[in-house]
Every structure is written in structure tokens, then in C-alpha cells.
Amino acid sequence: MAISLGSNGNSRRPGRGVTALADINVTPFVDVVLVLLIIFMLTAHVVEYGIDINVPKTQTTKGDTKDLPIVEITKDGTVYFGKATPRLAELAGMIHQKYGNPEAVYLRADQETPWNIIAQVLSTLSDAKLAVSVVTQPMERHARR
């Protein structure tokens, strides 16, 4: 912070022409804001999904970003709907209760999940007349040969 009294070198007339100029140094404020922004950017993707699931990689993926329910299956076979772990018989009811009558459901399953549990979830959602879109991850360009 700097204060200038505006003295022009003439000390015979005190009080005349004296102005107080207060400047605020914003550099520390900008530094703190930038550090907070970097921290937010680094942690935002971690907060997005709390369940660690490595979805399978495919050659083609469809970039679909509709607001649909997400059912997740971990590699140990635990089924999640949001933060809840419903039984398969309750899954469709929970989806309809929270989303009304959605047109489809996203299924995020870990690539190491046993096929048996994935088939059971698909069957349960199909019986509830819900279309299922499986979430995958695109392969890197050099791996597509």
C-alpha cells in the first residue's frame, strides 16, 4: 500500500494542495485468486465421480451428454445409483422415483466387472422398459491402428 501526500517541495504553505492518494496493491490478491483457481481446476475432475471405475475403451464412441440416470458397477460387482447401493429388484423403482419416466439410462461398468452382474443389470433395466447406453472411453489415436 502506498500513500502520497502530494508535496511539491514548497513547505511554506502547509495544507494547501495536499491531497491524500491511497492506492491498493492488487498483486497479492490476484496471486491468491490464481492459486485458488489452479487448485479448483485440479480437484474439479476428482469431485465429478466419487466411484473409481475404469470404463472399457472402444474404437468409436458417441458423444452423448443428455441428463439421464447413471447406474455404475464397480469391478467387485457393487451396483451404485448415485451414492446408494440398491438391490437389483429396487433399481428400476429408484430410477423412476428420482427421474420420473426417463427415456434411457447410462451404464458405467468397470472393464474388469464380471459379465454376470452386467447382464443382470441390463435385464433388470430392460424389464423396466428403460433403454441402456453403455459408457465407454475412446482409444488413443496411436492405438487405433
Pick from 71, 117, 119: which is nearest to 95 by CA?
71
pLDDT digits (tens, 9 = 90+) for 99-145: 888 888 989 888 888 889 999 999 999 999 998 988 877 777 654 44
Per-residue pLDDT at 24: 81
Q: List the domain boundaries for the chain.
A: 2-48, 57-143
Per-residue pLDDT band at 8 (split at 50, 70, 90): low
* Digit-coded pLDDT (tens) for 117-130: 999 999 999 999 99
Contact 98, 130 (CB under 8 A): no
Give the 3-state secondary structure of residue 74: coil
pLDDT digits (tens, 9 = 90+) for 74-95: 989 999 998 888 999 999 999 9
Longest Cα–Cα distance in the chain: 96
Q: How far apart are CA 60 and CA 71, in angstroms?
A: 21
Verdict on whether the full-model pTM lies above 0.85: no
Architecture of domain 57-143: 2-Layer Sandwich (3.30)
